[in-house]
Amino acid sequence: MLKAKYFVLIILLLSNLNLYLNFKKYESFKLQKILLFDLAENKSSLNINDLPKFIFPNLTVNSIPIKSLYSRYYEASGDIDYSIKLLKEGISDNPYLALTFYLTSRAYINQNDLLKAYNYSYKAYKLSPNIESVNALYIALDQILKDSL
């Protein structure tokens, strides 16, 4: 009898945890719609105060790290250091995506650190050389750095 009570209690606790995680995932999917639309349109329709602090899951439905998408809003608000921190975490979440390396390169350009920008643009280029924006950024930074030497 006692084992049955513990079993029911454990099932209830696991069910509540599952319900909570599914609710957080649903909220994330609603937010992802806005984040991905803003990325596609190259705009910022949210303030950094509108972004949830708890990120679950860490990747969007199309494998873009949510931290990489958040970084655009912090960069727009002027907090480039925190934006770069989020981008580096996004790289560790999905190191096979050129977008995060590209965004990191642009953030370093905003800090006038062209060498780091070049390094990240090179990594983005190696991952996806056929993406026009990645290709253009890499070639431009390569030419700027060659001219400065």
Q: Is 50 exposed, middle or buried (0-12, 13-18, 19+ CB in 10 A)?
A: exposed
Task: Tell me the whole-structure pTM to 2 decimals.
Answer: 0.89
Provide Rg for the chain, Cα atoms. 20
The whole domain housing 91 covers: 2-148
- The number of folded domains in the chain is 1
Give 18-75 pLDDT, tens digit per residue: 999 999 999 999 999 999 999 999 999 999 998 998 888 899 989 999 999 999 999 9
Where residue 42 sits, what CATH number does that domain have?
1.25.40.10
Q: Is the dihedral of CA 130, 134, 136, 140 positive or negative?
A: negative
